[in-house]
A and B are shown apart, each in its own frame.
Chain A
Amino acid sequence: MSMTYAPGEPTQPAGAPPSLQVRLALYRRMVELRVFEKRVYDVFLQGLVKGTTHLSLGEEAISAAYGEAMRKDDWTFATYRGHAHTLSRGVPMAPIMAELMGRRGGLMAGKGGSMHLTSVEHGMMGSYAIVGAHLPIANGAALSAKYRKSGQVAVCFFGDGTTNIGAFHEALNFAAVWKLPIVFVCENNLYMEYTAISAVTAVEHPAADRAGAYGLERILVDGNDADVMYETATRTLERARSGEGPSLVEALTYRHAGHSRADPGKYRPDQEVAEWMQRDPIDIYRARLLSQGVDASVLGRIDSDVADAVAVATEVAKASPPPGEDLIMKDLWSDGSSTWRN
């Protein structure tokens, strides 16, 4: 199966679509990400979440597909926009919501916050809030897998803006030279923070057009199509696992909201927003499943199950106490202390 695409044209990969079971799981996950992120938006407005949040509304297909395709012991490295990637590894909703609310029951007991979600037991190896830093770190996990011959793969998600920082290029070269078992997934939502990526980048497709510089295949896909993303995920994971080395995927997508809580997203043309809202990954997938004979009641049941689960998780998080001052001086060092002198 070829993964080579004409320049500038996202192309559907060849091959059979995933099984119905996988497709229903993908649908459920995307709905979960959507409803969860909308609830995060609500509870932020209610004053229950402080600081900031970066939502993945509109970008659900990418992390959902990789989450579904990855092996349980594979590793995810994500950015500050990492709620979706954490959920996609099967981390329960309640501790994530509690972390955002700064509660003891949070995934990191309130010490990390929205931008640093981590759950090592689920292979969620961290959300990194300095653009580009986690690409080299994900390489290290891949190096470890290769050295230990464990068959594990690291998947590293990042935004389009990351493609212009030095660590991106250092990491891509390093991964290619050692043929590391890693997949780099660029979620190109067309805007860095407020500035269009196209306005500040020498090539049209900030990741795909640079793949050749590292001897990698040019992979540009529709990040709003869950079937395309799932096939891309299975194929790039297989390539990594079989020792053929890294892949760099550019998945085109769009955020439905601004960059962060502080951003209403007004810099984007109304027409562009309207067009991308027509390409909502969940609407597209629901329509496709219905047209292919999946009963509306099956999808409706998933929708209501997810809504219930998000409601319960929100209440569990709200009921969790504050972190407690006993945590402040703990766990700087591996002995659990923060002692720096005697």
Chain B
Amino acid sequence: MAELSLREAVGRAIAQEMRRDPNVVFMGEDVAAAGGVFKSTVGLLEEFGPERVIDTPISEQAILGAIMGASMTGLRPIAEIMYSDFFAVCWDLVVNQMAKTRYMTNGQVSLPLVMKTGNGGGLRFGAQHSQSIENWAMAVPGIKVVMPSTPRDLIGLFAASVRDDDPVIFLEQKALYASKGEVEDGEIVEPLGKAAIRRQGGDATIVTIGTMVPRALEAADRLHQEEGISCTVIDLRTLIPLDAACVLDMVSATGRLFTVEENPRVLGWGAEIASIVADEIFYDLDGPLVRIATPYIPLPAAGELEDKTIPSVDAIVETIRKRMG
């Protein structure tokens, strides 16, 4: 057992899979000699050598193309797209190529690849280095979307992503890199498509993911202490595949659903969850479905502005208190 930061978990996760399978290679901008801009891949070049840990040019299309072609021909590559915002310059490879090739070829091609990326806000980087792109990724049939909230989950879900035969976007929340958690020794693998119930309560269900998980948990504690409102908190962990059954079970039990989403509100993943709940367990509901999300604006840089934009613990507490009243 050790206490690891999420940043340290990234390196351990990659190393775990590279030690296990010689067909796993890793590439990206500044990931090898420099150990990554977030210092999450330090030591991998030294352990695995330059043929498996590769510094690339600033060529996101070349990077994603390389892992796609490599995955079609026997390797299990991992690429880092430094900031998830940069997917915008290589989105063709994701949307038109990776997501569709297996289907179009009637199953002739498998793409066992992982695109890991630093996602989300909270670090005052401004509008082009802070976006939460999980709803972009979910919008395209054919891409799995994973977002861990703890160091242990990061290792386990990363292992499952590497071993999965389909393309995965693996979202590492930059705001959580410094957060710590207990991680046991030895190999860790967590299945994709299985949510984690982080807290149980009888009055409302909060469904969330990523950076919003610790905020939702803190908000739930405060709601319990201050208002006597007892919440279940579900960490979805993966958006595709989606553990809808877990959400339906918990919302049925509590009668209320709140989503807490870092992505901009319009067409955020919470809208899909709300639609599933409204469609399938409408008569179990005791009140409106409420989404707590980042508003429909680019993220501002200054701390005061960013903190008022992304759902905060205060905003979660306040919204749930009002809407439960």
Q: Which residues of A contact B (CB under 8 A)?
A: 75, 77, 108-109, 111-112, 116, 118-120, 125-126, 128-130, 132-145, 147-148, 152, 154, 166-167, 170-171, 173-174, 177, 327, 330-336, 338-342
Contacts and interface: CB of A to CB of B under 8 A. Distances in A.
- Which interface residue of A125, A135, A177 has the most chain B CB atoms within 10 A? A125
Contacts of A134: 65
A88 to B, nearest CB: 18
A128 B72 contact: no
Given A136-B61, A139-B65, A126 B107 contact: no
B57 A111 contact: no
Contacts of B71: 140
B26 to A, nearest CB: 12
Contacts of A147: 25, 51, 70, 75
Contact of B104 (A112, A120, A166): A112
Interface string B74-109: 110100000000000000110011000111111111
B223 interface: no
A140 B72 contact: yes
B28 to A, nearest CB: 13
B108 to A, nearest CB: 5
A185 to B, nearest CB: 16
A136 B166 contact: no
B101 A136 contact: no
Contacts of B72: 120, 125, 137, 140-141
A339 B101 contact: no
Nearest to B67: A140
A119 B241 contact: no
A109 B107 CA distance: 10
Interface stretch (B153-161, B172-180, B242-250, B286-294): B242-250
B42 interface: no
A144 B103 contact: no
B193 A140 contact: no
Given A135-B65, A170-B59, A171-B65, A341 B241 contact: yes
Interface string B52-71: 00001101011111111111
Given A111-B104, A130-B92, A338-B141, A173 B69 contact: no
B218 interface: no
8 contacts: A120-B109, A126-B101, A129-B96, A137-B65, A144-B70, A166-B61, A332-B141, A338-B141
- Which interface residue of B65, B75, B242 has the most chain A CB atoms within 10 A? B65
Given A118-B105, A170-B59, A137 B242 contact: no
B65 A148 contact: no
B59 A174 contact: yes
A196 B243 CA distance: 52
A223 B59 CA distance: 31
B243 A342 contact: yes
Contacts of B165: 333-335
B62 A145 contact: no
Contact of B62 (A77, A139, A152): A139
- Which interface residue of A118, A140, A339 has the most chain B CB atoms within 10 A? A140
A136 B110 contact: no
B217 interface: no
DSSP class of A's interface residues: helix, strand, loop or mixed? Answer: mixed
B114 interface: no
Given A144-B75, A170-B57, A170-B59, 11 more contacts: A108-B105, A118-B105, A125-B73, A130-B96, A132-B61, A133-B65, A136-B66, A332-B102, A332-B142, A333-B165, A334-B112
A142 B69 contact: yes
B240 interface: yes
B214 to A, nearest CB: 25
Contacts of A142: 69
B110 to A, nearest CB: 5
A342 B245 contact: yes
Nearest to B64: A136
B106 to A, nearest CB: 4
Listed from nearest, the 6 A-B pairs whose CB atoms lie closest are A136-B65, A140-B69, A334-B165, A331-B107, A170-B59, A170-B62
A140 B70 contact: yes
A126 B109 contact: yes
Contact of A340 (B96, B107, B241): B241
Nearest to B245: A342
A120 B70 contact: no
Nearest to A154: B69
A143 B97 contact: no
A153 to B, nearest CB: 12
Interface in B120-177: 141-142, 164-166
B107 A336 contact: yes
A141 B65 CA distance: 9
B70 to A, nearest CB: 4
B141 A111 contact: no
Contacts of A119: 108
A139 B104 contact: no
Contacts of A120: 72, 105, 108-109
- Which interface residue of B105, B107, B165 has the most chain A CB atoms within 10 A? B105
B112 to A, nearest CB: 8
A328 to B, nearest CB: 10
Given A130-B96, A136-B93, A341-B244, A171 B70 contact: no
A108 B62 contact: no
Nearest to B195: A342
Contact of B106 (A77, A109, A334): A109
Contacts of A148: 74-75
Given A140-B66, A140-B67, A342-B241, A108 B104 contact: yes
Nearest to A339: B241
A138 B69 contact: yes
B238 to A, nearest CB: 10
Given A120-B109, A130-B92, A144 B69 contact: yes
A140 B245 CA distance: 38
B61 A170 contact: yes
B110 A334 contact: yes
Given A133-B93, A140-B72, A334-B165, A173 B66 contact: no
